[in-house]
């Protein structure tokens, strides 16, 4: 019984991951399919050809590149803006605090189709040419809210004693922020950034309206879907997934190696007690 109890949680975690990743496994599996027609619905045979010729469908390469560029840029800016907003809302009293808090939730609750169309109207009225820039603007706009809510979750019960201690020890506010606050907020900021990137890289409706001639990966996929689902779509999707996971794994391994190197290269700062009390050998 003890054994079951101890292993219940990890077993659940495994099951939960299976549930989350099962469709992804299917996606990856079908990226190796060799369909004879334009649709990739029936398994017909294994091939590495799709991975080798991943950019065979016209337009897929530039679409992926655009999606990744927009994703990273908009995530970075939105995370920055959102973190600042969260800090302001949680840590300061100011007029309009309640209203600002409510305002943050509005973009999430607005259906994308009307938001996209209205945003396009705005751009048209101001004679802004639609394209990469307008997609970037729109993405930052709808990602900010998610960042604010996620970072706030961390800030609300944030233990300020550590910051107070740092300042007692002579750090000014900026240094405290950089060396105490930000590192402690890092998991929240990372989570917010991951969610933001996910929102950007998978957005279709708003992007469709404000994209002008620019094609992002979701636009490509939904557009092509009327006549084809080329296996290269699975390849690109799988690749993005795998690269993200590998980057994180790489991060861990690099951190491990760094720690071991540091431990090995540093002499003990303080003599070990045994060394102090050992009589000198004659």
Partner 1 sequence: MTMRMTRRQLVQRGAAGATLLSLPNLLAACGGGGGGGGGGELADTLRFSNWPLYIDFDEKTKQHPTLDEFTAKTGIKVDYFEDINSNAEYFGKIQRPLSQGNSIDRDIIVLTDNERFLGLMIDKGWVEELDKDLIPNISNLIDAQKSPPFDPDRTYSLPWQSGMTGIAWNEKETGPVTSITQLFEDPKLKGKVTALNGMGDTPPLVMLDNGDDPASVTDATWTAAIDRIQAAVDSGQIRRFTGNDYAQPLSQGDLAAAIAWSGDIYQLLSSNPSLRWALPTKGGVIWTDNMIIPTGGSAPTASTFMNFVYDPKIAAQIAAYVAYVPPVKGTQEILAKTDPKMASSELVFPSDATLANAHQFDSKALNNQTYVEQWQKVLGA
Partner 2 sequence: MSFLHRHKGLTPYLLLLPGIVWLMLFFVAPLGFLGYQSLQTGTFDTGYTFDWAFSNYWDAISDYHEQFVRSFVYAGIATILALLVSYPLVYWIAFRAGRWKNVCLILIVAPLFVTYLVRTLAWLNILADEGPVVGFLRDIHVLGPDGRLLATSVAVVAGITYNFLPFMALPVYVSLEQIDARLLEAAEDLYASKRQAFLRVTLPLSAPGIVAGTLLTFIPAAGDFINAQLLGTPNQYMVGNVIQSKFLDVLDYPSAAALSFILMALILVGLLGYARAVGTERLTG
Min CB(40)–partner 1 separation in Å: 9
Q: In whole angstroms, give the CA distance from residue 272 to residue 282.
A: 20
In angstroms and rounded to an integer, the radius of gyration of the C-alpha atoms of the chain is: 25
Residues in region 217-256 near partner 1 by CB under 8 A: 219-220, 222-228
From 50-58, 93-101, 160-168, 264-272, give the range in contact with partner 2 by CB under 8 A. Answer: 93-101
17 binds partner 1 (CB under 8 A): no
From the list partner 2, partner 1, none, pick the one residue 213 interacts with, judged by a Cβ distance below 5 to 8 Å according to partner type: partner 1
The total of other beta-carbon atoms located within 10 Å of residue 166's CB is: 18
Min CB(206)–partner 1 separation in Å: 11
Q: Which of 57, 199, 61, 68 is nearest to 138 (CA)?
A: 199
From 41-49, 104-112, 131-139, 273-281, give the range in contact with partner 1 by CB under 8 A. Answer: 41-49
The residue written with tokens 């107070």 in the block is 164
Q: In whole angstroms, give the CA distance from residue 36 to residue 73.
A: 38
Binding mask 59-78 for partner 1 (x = CB under 8 A): x-------------------
Which residues are registered as beta bridge partners of 46? 33
Choice from 65, 124, 156, 175 touching partner 1 (CB under 8 A): 124
The residue written with tokens 């557009």 in the block is 223
Contact 150, 185 (CB under 8 A): no
In the complex, the residues that contact partner 1 under the rule CB under 8 A are 35-39, 41-42, 44, 53, 56-59, 113, 117, 120-121, 124, 208-209, 211, 213, 215, 219-220, 222-228
């Amino acid at each position: 019984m003890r054994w079951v109890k101890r292993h219940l949680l990890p077993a659940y975690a495994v099951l939960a991951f299976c549930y989350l990743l099962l469709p992804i496994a299917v996606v990856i599996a079908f990226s190796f399919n060799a369909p004879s027609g334009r649709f990739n619905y029936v398994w017909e045979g294994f091939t590495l050809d799709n991975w080798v010729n991943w950019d065979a469908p016209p337009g897929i390469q530039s679409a992926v590149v655009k999606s990744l560029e927009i994703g990273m840029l908009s995530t970075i800016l939105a995370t920055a803006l959102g973190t600042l907003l969260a800090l302001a809302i949680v840590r300061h009293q100011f007029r309009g605090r309640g209203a600002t808090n409510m305002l943050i939730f509005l973009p999430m609750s607005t259906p994308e189709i009307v938001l996209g169309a209205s945003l396009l109207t705005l751009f048209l009225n101001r004679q802004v040419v639609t394209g990469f820039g307008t997609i970037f603007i729109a993405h930052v706009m709808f990602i900010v809210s998610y960042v604010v809510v996620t970072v706030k979750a961390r800030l609300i019960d944030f233990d300020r004693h550590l910051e107070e201690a740092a300042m007692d020890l002579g750090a000014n506010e900026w240094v405290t922020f950089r060396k105490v606050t930000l590192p402690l907020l890092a998991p929240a900021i990372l989570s917010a950034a991951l969610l933001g990137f996910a929102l950007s890289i998978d957005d279709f409706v708003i992007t469709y309206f404000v994209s002008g001639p620019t094609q992002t990966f979701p636009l490509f996929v939904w557009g092509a879907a009327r006549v084809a689902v080329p296996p290269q779509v699975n390849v690109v999707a799988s690749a993005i997934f795998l690269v993200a996971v590998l980057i994180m794994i790489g991060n861990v391994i690099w951190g491990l190696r760094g720690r071991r190197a540091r431990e090995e290269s540093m002499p003990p700062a303080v003599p070990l007690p045994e060394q102090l009390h050992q009589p000198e050998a004659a």
